Amino acid sequence: MLREIDDIVVQLDGLRRELDQVNANLERHRHPVRYFSSYAVPYALIPSLFLVIAHILVTIVFNISPLPLRLASVVIPLLFGFAAYRVHKVSANGAFMLAFCTAALSVHAMLTVTGIHDKVPILPGPWIEWREVIEYGASILLAFVSGNILAALIFHVLPRVLAQGGKPNAFAFRAARLLGQHVGEEQLRRRARLIQDLMHTVGPLAGVAITAIGSIYAGLKGILT
């Protein structure tokens, strides 16, 4: 009975996600401007504004080391990427597009502010300056994507794993038998369940780790080397 209830919970969760996706598609086709603005404003424009404010405070108002700005450029997009999934269930593809827009808007605005304040060309000149700008933008983009993956892991992957109860799939059972067949059925089931849980969680965890490390490296590389 408990396993049947677990299966029903998993099915209902899948149906709810499909319904949310259908409603989002309908909204996109019926009101495209309102649909895209409802994502672009909170998850691209606002974080870009915060990043530009941080840039002005660090480089112009206080004129201090760029380290706080680089740290803010990781934390701010990460939080907005997290919120994008938590609030609107933004998918990985959508998060990448929002991350790209956030990085492009914020970096261009920062270059404009610096150019006007210092009375220098807005666009970088030598390739080394372009490389620094690209790395900085990549840091913002990867931080946003990292936050989105982290939210998906916490609010989608882990609840789905916990809701699956004690019914591992056939592949997990086969993998468990390869590790040793001379065990009891209950121990084999627990081993298969562990393998299945790892299969569902390792991917998102690796995604969070890779994007977070990449964001921090790209953001801090210029000031730590």
Asked if 51 contacts 136 with a C-beta cutoff of 8 angstroms, the reply is no
Residue 102 CB neighbour total at 10 angstroms: 28
pLDDT of residue 78: 97
pLDDT of residue 60: 94
pTM of the predicted protein model: 0.80
**d(Cα 225, Cα 222) in Å, to the nearest integer?**
6
Asked if 143 contacts 78 with a C-beta cutoff of 8 angstroms, the reply is yes
Mean pLDDT by 10 residues, the chain (225 residues): 54 62 62 78 96 96 93 96 92 93 97 94 91 94 96 81 58 60 60 63 84 88 69
**d(Cα 203, Cα 92) in Å, to the nearest integer?**
13
**d(Cα 101, Cα 105) in Å, to the nearest integer?**
6
The angle that helices 67-88 and 92-118 make with each other, rounded to 10 degrees, is 150
**d(Cα 173, Cα 191) in Å, to the nearest integer?**
8
pLDDT of residue 2: 46
pLDDT of residue 202: 76
